[in-house]
Amino acid sequence: MTANTILQTMRSPFLLLVVSCLSLPLCYSIAADIRWSPVILTLIVASALLAHISVNMLNEYMDCDSDRQRGSSRTPFSGGSGALVAQPQRRDVVKHMALVMVGLTITGGLAIVMLQPAQTGLLVLLGLLGAGIVVTYTPWLNRLPWLCLLAPGTGFGLVMCFGSYVALTGRTDSAMLLLALIPMLLVNNLLLLNQFPDADIDRRHGRRHLVIVYGYRTAATVLCVQWCLAAAIIAGLVVRGTLPVPALATLTFLLPALWIAGKARHYHAPTPAFIRAMGLNVLITLLLPVALAVSVL
């Protein structure tokens, strides 16, 4: 059924990432006793979900269009849903639905700018950056290793997390910008680790992400660096007084990252242990921002 294919290409379980990223600006603004509009919040949530869905659907469409998914080592966290492999005749429907989602995302963004004129320039800039990532990630950015690494985190961290705070409050805040770097680094690592099982098939289809260009060991080192930067930001914000001392307890979420990095460094195949590492990475990415948001409150 067409409806079922569309739902599968939306990758609904991955939409929890939107909730995780939005928890930080929402809780930070509540803790600061800043009043915000429920209408703007509704538009932010809807636009964020639509943006994520459109990326998922465009990625599925372009992977199927290049016949990539037929040769991928699909795992629960990578390799696509397989919906268009089973129903390739539905790919144009998925493409058009994805473009509709992009249009609705842009419409929601414009509505937010109109309702929050105090930061028009910054919101427009962030919106253009987000839209650019949505439409260029699969066809172009994944051929540029470092931009491919940074694009997902930039979209979820800077655009979605920090941009939501600006849209909600009508102001900027350096501490919130630093907080937004945490989901940025985590999401970068989420996508980077998920690229390990698909490196060979991605190479054959012209992609040039970090794993392909520099290898598994270098990619594992990048994973470690980004997790260490996230830990340093949390510790620094506690020292600065932005986060309460109990927020240091959230660093325990990063302890399993040591085991994940070891599996990544010695990667040779998507073994059950490596798939568990991928799942654990998903949990770190989803739960750490929420734990920080709770600590702020």
Q: What is the CATH number of the domain that holds 176?
A: 1.10.600
Half-sphere exposure of 179 (CA within 13 A, CB side): 35
Residue 1 pLDDT: 58
Give the pair of three-digit tokens for residue 201.
């098939």
Residue 82 pLDDT: 63
Residue 76 pLDDT: 64
Give the pair of three-digit tokens for residue 284.
């770190």
Residue 168 pLDDT: 93
Q: CB pairs under 8 A, 24+ apart, for 249-257?
A: 249/291, 249/295, 250/288, 250/291, 250/292, 250/295, 253/284, 253/287, 253/288, 253/291, 254/227, 254/230, 254/284, 254/288, 256/280, 256/284, 257/223, 257/224, 257/227, 257/281, 257/284
This model's pTM is above 0.85:
yes
10 Å CB burial of residue 239 (0-12, 13-18, 19+) is: exposed
Tens digit of pLDDT for each residue in 154-180? 999 999 999 999 999 999 999 999 999
Residue 9 pLDDT: 77
CB 60 within 8 A of CB 23: no
Residue 78 pLDDT: 61
Could you state, in chain order, the average pLDDT of each consecutive group of 10 residues for the chain (297 residues)?
Answer: 72 86 94 90 93 84 61 60 66 82 91 90 93 83 91 94 94 94 97 91 86 94 97 96 92 93 91 93 96 93
Residue 232 contacts by C-beta under 8 Å, 6 or more apart in sequence? none
Number of domains in the chain: 1
DSSP structural state of residue 269: S
Note down the domain range covering 278.
Answer: 2-296
